[in-house]
Amino acid sequence: MNNTPNKDEFYAKLKSQLQDTALWPTEYLYKFIVQTEKAKIEHVEVIFDNMGAVINTKESSNGKYTSVSISVKMKNPDHVIEKYKEVGEKIEGVISL
């Protein structure tokens, strides 16, 4: 089953919410969950490299997953969504919160 319409609807709704709740440009906080593998964590970090992002990681209590929080100044809702899509396409099994 293809989830593209659901993703498109999700991103359209997110864009609308971001436009209504913030003055752009603004600081935006991304949160991702990845398996605790150095390569996956570093890949998330590389996607936000050279953007002045503040990145924090926290391993789960059982060590299986790591949360990656990224605070970064974004130009507009479209740029926020572009980064969500890039992370989702490039990192297998990532969960975006």
For 28-80, what is each residue's pLDDT tens digit? Answer: 999 999 999 999 999 999 999 999 999 999 999 999 999 999 999 999 999 99
Reported as a pLDDT band with limits 50, 70 and 90, residue 6 is confident
Query: Residue 5: its pLDDT value, please?
Result: 60
Is the distance from CB of 94 to CB of 31 less than 8 angstroms? no
Strand residue runs (E) in 6-97? 26-35, 54-59, 65-74, 95-96
